[in-house]
Amino acid sequence: MEEKGIKQAELSKRASISQSAVSKYINNLGEPKSRELHAISKALGVSMDSWFTGVPSTGEDGEDGHWKTRATTAEKRLRRLHAAFLKDLEEFEKKK
């Protein structure tokens, strides 16, 4: 959004998604469904696979997004999920 100079309200309008939903996704308080992710990708001019792989992939407008940041964010989210899983597993083992 920053690279393209798009604010949340504009992304919301372009993607036909509520502004509160866009805000949740940006603040990692929720994750978009595939339909919403497709709409956001199209509105930003990036490919859908780039959200998952972090690999630069030219969007429809011919510009690359800020892939390193997106990949780092996904990696941090995976680390948090893994840590939570390990904590739950440890608590489960203690109860045995």
Query: Rounded to two decimals, what is the model's pTM?
Result: 0.54
Q: Would 1 be classed as within a structural domain?
A: no
Q: What is the CATH number of the domain that holds 45?
A: 1.10.260.40
69 falls within a domain: yes
Share of the chain above pLDDT 70, in %: 74
Asked if the structure places residue 76 within a domain, the reply is: yes
Which tokens is 77 given?
A: 């989210």
User: Does 10 or 55 have the greater pLDDT score?
Assistant: 10
Domain that holds residue 36: 8-95
- 1: closest CA among 34, 27, 35? 27
For residue 73, tell me if it sits in a domain.
yes
Q: Number of structural domains, the chain?
A: 1
15-53 pLDDT, tens digit each: 999 999 998 888 888 888 888 888 888 888 887 776 766
Please give the Cα distance from 20 to 4 (Å, whole number): 20
In a domain, 86, yes or no: yes
Domain-located, residue 2: no
